[in-house]
Amino acid sequence: MKRALFPLLFLISFLITACGNSNSTQSSQNAAGAYIENKGSDTIVNLALAWAEEYQAEHPDARISVTGGGSGTGIAALINGTVGIANASRKIKAEEVQEAESKGIQPVEHIIARDAIAVIVNPENPVSQLTLQQISDIYSGKIINWSGVGGEDRPIVRLSRETNSGTHVYFLETVLRLGEKDNKTFFSSNTLLLPSSEGIINEVRQNPNAIGYDGLGYVPKDLKMIAIAEKAGEEYVLPSAETVNDKSYAIARDLYMYTAGEATGAIKDYLDWIVSDEAQQIVTELGFVPILK
């Protein structure tokens, strides 16, 4: 069965399930027929919805609510004790761990899939390959015209996710700052910050001057992915499951779920199922990269 974006009605049914349970989250999560609230990364949200749908079909007593809002939103909810599982497309920050510990919560990390960040342009754009340094220079405003990277004489329109997005944070640290801890490069002030993957996709589709980035599983076939080299003179590589797993693609990451302490009860059962072959097949179907065992 082909899996894609799920109908709004399905999401609404999850949210209705949440009513009346928010005040007893911890106790209900460990009971039979538990309600699990799962919130956070917009990158992960469609995958999390697919998992929840399949898991509930196999476990009729399970009730799972899935919402997005960004990695930071999910982690903040975990720290505040209002969700059972926080989805994140970046590692939890040291200051978030410190805040959680101050409230008696010890966040525990679970790697649930892998992802490539694809750099995308409009199909009319003749540019097909870039180095990490060139992408950094584009997004920091050092390169402002496509002619500066072998393209046409056109102004570059930079698109990014908003700052609460784990994908934004990962792209800033890995691409703009080239993975260098002391690098203080920032996005150019005229970078357009968009609240969703769909917003970036739609803008790139409409604007031949635009450049954006998104999780591989969200990139439609009518847009053009850029082949990336870590350094000038090295091989240019397109994102795919194969190039993520063989580590030849430069912008790849783990995807996470975080729990407050070691998972127990219904949450542990669900997380154990998520890393099963059955659930990891859904990862592949949605264009992400399954974890290697």
Q: What is the pLDDT of residues 215-255, one digit of tens each?
A: 998 899 999 999 999 999 999 999 998 999 899 999 999 99
Sequential DSSP letters for 227-243: EEESSTTSPPB---HHH
The residues, any chain, with a CB within 8 Å of residue 185's CB and separated by 6 or more, are: 136, 140, 176, 177
What are the residue ranges of CATH 3.40.190.10 in the chain? 8-114+255-285, 116-252
In order of 138, 173, 185, 219, 225, the CA distances from 182 in angstroms are: 20, 10, 9, 32, 29
Kindly tell me the burial class for residue 38, based on how many C-beta atoms sit within 10 Å of its own C-beta (0-12, 13-18, 19 or more): buried
Q: In this structure, are strands 107-121 and 157-161 parallel, antiparallel, or unpaired?
A: unpaired
Q: Token pair 């357009």 is at which residue? A: 192
What tokens appear for 130 in the block?
A: 């870039």
Mean pLDDT, rounded, for 75-90: 96
116-252: in CATH 3.40.190.10: yes
Backbone φ and ψ for 86, nearest 5 degrees, come out as -105, 130
Q: What sections of the chain are H helices per DSSP?
A: 8-18, 25-29, 42-58, 71-79, 94-102, 132-140, 166-171, 197-206, 241-245, 265-274, 277-285
Any idea which architecture 8-114+255-285 has in CATH? 3-Layer(aba) Sandwich (3.40)
What would the mean pLDDT of 261-274 be, rounded to a whole number? 97
Tokens for 77, please give them.
Answer: 């909810």
Strand 157-161 to strand 210-215: parallel, antiparallel, or no bridges (unpaired)? parallel
Mean confidence (pLDDT) of the chain: 89
Q: Look at residue 29 and tell me whether its pLDDT is greater than 90.
A: no
Tell me phi and psi for residue 274, to 5 degrees: -60, -35
Tokens for 241, please give them: 């499951």
- pLDDT for the residue numbered 288: 92
